[in-house]
């Protein structure tokens, strides 16, 4: 596809990005004050390769109340056990995502602003094209059917606009009524990290 097609908002060219690639910074509900906190890689660590994102130590920080919490991957058989992305709770500490809203009778969620924009580019396109070496593992390929249906396009785009507005707010009173614990984290696929390479067991 030429550059004109890639710049056409009615067409979406999927580069095959995984959901894990959007988990570098995750906006969550603070466990202390209920406002917006964020979870990011622990300061001072080298930038991870994409294959290391779900194993890298994380830190939760709330700029409003000063709450801090940490996460490190569990060990099993000499390997690190990966966090598992997906669902309305963050994959590291299990906190409810800050960016959640009710949409088409379901819950629409995102990890951060970059994730919102990727979802909006996909949802707003009438023509969707796949590429990459792992198209079936890509985030867009694994979106729920209701988000992919043209009949829900306007509702999904309106929901993403609400998430954009939420991303600019941080007070406890700004919290969406959808942002609470549901226990809907996905089943772990038990990816392990050995000697600089990830493996799935």
The residue ranges of every structural domain in the chain are: 3-174
The DSSP letter of residue 185 is P
Instruction: Give the separation between CA 170 and CA 155, rounded to whole angstroms.
Output: 24
pTM attached to this predicted model? 0.86
pLDDT digits (tens, 9 = 90+) for 139-197: 988 999 999 999 999 999 999 999 999 999 999 999 999 998 877 766 555 565 554 54
pLDDT digits (tens, 9 = 90+) for 11-68: 766 777 899 999 999 999 999 999 999 999 999 988 877 778 899 999 999 999 999 9
pLDDT of residue 1: 40
* Contact call for residues 86 and 185 (beta carbons, < 8 A): yes
* Contact call for residues 42 and 70 (beta carbons, < 8 A): yes
Per DSSP bridges, beta strands 11-14 and 127-130 are parallel
Return the sign of the alpha-carbon dihedral for residues 97, 83, 50, 60: positive
Q: Give the phi and the psi of residue 135 in degrees, each rounded to 5.
A: -60, -30
């Amino acid at each position: 596809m030429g550059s004109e097609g890639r710049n056409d908002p009615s067409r979406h060219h999927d580069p095959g990005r995984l959901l894990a690639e959007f988990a570098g910074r995750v906006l969550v509900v603070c466990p202390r004050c209920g406002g917006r906190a964020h979870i990011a890689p622990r300061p001072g660590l080298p930038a991870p390769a994409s294959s290391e994102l779900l194993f890298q130590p994380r830190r939760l920080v709330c700029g409003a109340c000063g709450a801090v919490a940490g996460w490190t991957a569990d060990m099993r058989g000499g390997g690190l056990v990966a966090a598992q992305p997906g669902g309305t709770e963050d994959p590291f500490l299990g906190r409810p995502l800050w960016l959640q809203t009710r949409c088409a009778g379901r819950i629409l969620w995102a990890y951060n602003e970059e994730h919102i924009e990727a979802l909006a580019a996909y949802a707003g396109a009438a023509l969707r094209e796949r590429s990459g070496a792992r198209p079936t593992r890509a985030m867009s390929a694994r979106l729920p059917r209701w988000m992919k249906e043209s009949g829900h396009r306007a509702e999904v785009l309106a929901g993403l606009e609400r998430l954009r507005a939420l991303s600019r707010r941080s007070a406890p009173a700004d919290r969406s009524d959808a942002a609470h614990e549901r226990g809907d984290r996905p089943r772990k696929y038990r990816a392990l990290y050995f000697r600089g390479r990830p493996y799935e067991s």
